[in-house]
């Protein structure tokens, strides 16, 4: 398993087919993700957003967009904007000089996708892992179509594959292949293991995206702590950070008055939600984690996309981007 990330990254992995792999609500393959390309049209991660988009400045921090490259220092011309005057050079030379910048031709984007076993759950439509994979693929196709560089980090319980951002169809395919292969490792008979922590993943993100990147994270953010918050806050200061919070209605609507059997694949336990103390503890834990992630939007100015595993991925991505009334 220690070389699984390398095999996934290079497309040489032999994934274990998920249970019911023919059902795209349970598991996705590369062909399924590729079919989403045509449906990614009009979804945008550029600074100019529709009024109803959660990425619009009225709702969260504005996306800063591509950076500027310094081109030259030259004499001031009458048509130049006086705000571009370099006053230090002007004072030193005695004649007005301006700094000329051009917009970067493309911008690096890092798409981070959680495919741990905590994501292998769904009570209505999709597994959370499927929703995360589909939304990540939609974002990758659209960003590539915008002319920006695309790369990503795909991580499971025991693997973490890195694809450095590049403006090429090959890089896009490598990312989608890694995503499909990691999703294929999720199945009901997978042995219980200690999963890779979110903090380790975010440290890898900080290394690959030191500044001026667009970073999209699709996860249920299972197990976060104070260190997670510090890493998130740091990434948001140096990059445009967008969080895709993947959730399932079961976490907010736990049935009361029932006996639920839960298992980690080896051991199982029965939980009586008819017991008010037990029901309240489980409900508070489930809703509290979601509320904590949503609170990052208020505290750090980070856009949070609430992505429900109970809804079609394309439909909700379009709605969240302010395109609900647009024709498909």
pLDDT given at position 4:
55
Question: Mean pLDDT over all residues of the chain?
Answer: 80
Decide if 110 contacts 213 (C-beta within 8 A): yes
Integer angstrom CA distances of residue 124 from 118, 166, 189, 248, 253: 16, 36, 21, 8, 12
* pLDDT tens-digit map of 85-98: 899 989 999 999 98
Residue ranges of the domains in the chain?
Answer: 4-60+106-320, 68-103
Tokens representing 199 are: 């903090």
pLDDT given at position 263:
47
Q: At what angle do helices 128-145 and 169-184 cross, to 10 degrees?
A: 180
Q: Is the pLDDT of residue 58 over 50?
A: no
Pick the CATH number of 4-60+106-320 from 3.40.1190.20, 1.10.730.10, 3.40.50.410, 2.40.110.10: 3.40.50.410
Q: Is the pLDDT of residue 150 over 60?
A: yes
Sign of the Cα torsion 175, 154, 312, 120 reads positive
This prediction has a pTM of: 0.75
Q: Is the pLDDT of residue 108 over 80?
A: yes
Which secondary structure element, helix H or strand E, spans residue 151, and what is its range?
strand 149-155
Beta bridge partners of 149: 108
Confidence label for 64 from pLDDT (cuts 50, 70 and 90): low
Contacts of 311 (CB under 8 A, 6+ apart): 125
* pLDDT tens-digit map of 271-326: 555 556 654 655 555 666 778 888 898 888 888 999 999 999 999 998 887 765 54
Confidence label for 184 from pLDDT (cuts 50, 70 and 90): very high
Strands 214-219 and 240-247: parallel
pLDDT given at position 255:
57
């Amino acid at each position: 398993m220690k070389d699984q990330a390398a095999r996934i990254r290079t497309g040489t992995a032999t994934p274990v087919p998920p249970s019911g792999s023919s059902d795209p609500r349970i598991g996705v393959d590369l062909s399924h993700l590729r079919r989403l390309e045509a449906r990614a049209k009009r979804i945008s991660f550029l600074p100019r957003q529709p009024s109803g988009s959660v990425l619009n400045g009225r709702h969260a921090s504005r996306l800063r967009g591509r950076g500027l490259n310094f081109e030259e220092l030259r004499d001031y011309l009458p048509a130049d904007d006086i705000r571009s005057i370099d006053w230090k050079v002007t004072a030193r030379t005695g004649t007005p000089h301006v700094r000329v910048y051009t917009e970067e031709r493309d911008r690096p984007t890092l798409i981070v996708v959680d495919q741990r076993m905590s994501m292998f759950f769904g009570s209505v439509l999709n597994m959370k892992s499927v929703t995360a994979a589909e939304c990540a693929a939609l974002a990758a196709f659209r960003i590539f179509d915008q002319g920006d560089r695309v790369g990503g980090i795909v991580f499971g319980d025991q693997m973490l594959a890195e694809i450095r951002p590049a403006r090429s169809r090959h890089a896009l395919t490598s990312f989608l292949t890694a995503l499909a292969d990691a999703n294929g490792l999720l199945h009901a008979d997978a042995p219980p293991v200690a999963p890779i922590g979110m903090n380790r993943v975010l440290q890898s993100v900080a290394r690959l995206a030191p500044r001026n990147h667009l970073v999209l994270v699709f996860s249920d953010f299972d197990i976060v702590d104070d260190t997670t918050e510090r890493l998130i806050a740091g990434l948001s200061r140096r990059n445009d950070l967008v969080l895709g919070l993947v959730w399932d209605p079961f976490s907010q609507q736990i049935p009361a008055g029932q006996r639920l059997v839960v298992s980690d694949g080896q051991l199982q336990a029965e939980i009586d939600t008819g017991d008010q103390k037990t029901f309240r503890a489980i409900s508070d834990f489930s809703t509290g984690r979601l509320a904590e992630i949503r609170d990052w939007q208020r505290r750090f100015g980070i856009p949070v996309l609430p992505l429900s595993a109970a809804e079609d991925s394309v439909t909700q991505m379009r709605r969240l981007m302010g395109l609900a009334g647009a024709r498909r």
